[in-house]
Amino acid sequence: MTTLRVESLTTGYDKVNVLHDVSIKVEPGQITCILGSNGAGKSTLIRSILGLTPPRQGRILWGDRDLAGDKTHKIIASGITCIPEGRKVFPRMTVTENLALGAFLDTNPSRIRDNLERVYETFPRLKERANQLAGTMSGGEQAMVSIGRGMMANPKLLIIDEPSLGLSPLYVKENFNVIKRINATGLTVLLIEQNARQTLAIAHYGYVLSQGRITAQGSAEELSNNDEVRSAYFG
């Protein structure tokens, strides 16, 4: 059980800082969410955790380990996997081939088979469609492929960047149910979203990121009743 702590993180691109003094904690076993509108710096926070946009100030602690300065592949190998914005399935590859790519760091064939079986148990629909080209599937099914691909690395922490972006309401609901289910199997989730209502319905704890700063935090229930969240996200 490993806790992720981002402590007073400031970072950005070129001469501009995008994140300012950001501190968050992701408790093992929970769904922690970051709510923020377009351009708030959500994806930059993920890039920073993954070592793609390293901290300029502050620390990122994964258990006892300081990730600052580590290469991305090492960070991923330590048990942190990200499902990127827009899902990004490989359209001309089959479902199974897409899933197999999620295990690219794994050299143990029997473990890869076990992980694939676990993904197919979670998503029976993907098993039915194992040989279908991912590009010919619905948006909701592609979302399952991308989450399944993340699970293939058997991560301790799964970071999901805006899973509801571009999905129709029906698929959004299905997708959030899937996230809740995989969390119930013990997987820690950091969920990044603009869709506050659906996110707070499944999250345990959350933060609001506005213009690169944390402006509110609390349990999902507290955030649902927070004035800033209500006016900015519940209309």
Ligand X SMILES: Nc1ncnc2c1ncn2[C@@H]1O[C@H](COP(=O)(O)OP(=O)(O)O)[C@@H](O)[C@H]1O
> Cβ 91 to ligand X, closest distance in Å?
24
Q: Which residues of 43-79 are buried (b: 16+ CB within 10 A; e: fewer)?
A: bbbbbbbbbebbbeebebbbeeeebeebebeebbebb
Q: Which residues in the 90-129 window bind ligand X by CB under 6 A?
A: none
> Cβ 56 to Mg ion, closest distance in Å?
19
Answer whether 214's CB lies under 8 Å from 24's CB: yes
SS (H, E, C) 100-122: HHCCCCCCCHHHHHHHHHHHHHH
Point out the residue whose Cβ comes nearest to Mg ion.
43
Q: Of 43, 81, 154, 217, which lies in the binding site for Mg ion, with binding defined by CB under 5 A?
A: 43
**Which is closer to ligand X, CB of 46 or CB of 112?**
46
**Which is closer to ligand X, CB of 39 or CB of 91?**
39
- Residue 216 has phi, psi (to 5 degrees) of -160, 155
Question: What stretch of H or E contains 206?
Answer: strand 205-210
The C-alpha atoms of residue 180 and residue 44 are separated, in whole angstroms, by 24
Q: Of 4, 6, 9, 18, which lies in the binding site for ligand X, with binding defined by CB under 6 A?
A: 18
| 164 lies in the site for ligand X, by CB under 6 A | no
| 146 lies in the site for Mg ion, by CB under 5 A | no
**Which is closer to Mg ion, CB of 43 or CB of 98?**
43
> Cβ 162 to ligand X, closest distance in Å?
7
Answer whether 198's CB lies under 8 Å from 192's CB: no
Nearest alpha-carbon partner for 39 in 173, 194, 197, 152: 194
**Which is closer to ligand X, CB of 141 or CB of 193?**
193
CB atoms within 10 A of CB 204: 16
**Which is closer to Mg ion, CB of 67 or CB of 159?**
159
Q: Which residues in the 24-53 window bind ligand X by CB under 6 A?
A: 36, 38-44
**Which is closer to Mg ion, CB of 137 or CB of 179?**
179
Give the number of residues written for the chain. 235
Residues within the interface to Mg ion (CB under 5 A): 42-43
Residues that bind ligand X (CB under 6 A): 13, 18, 36, 38-44
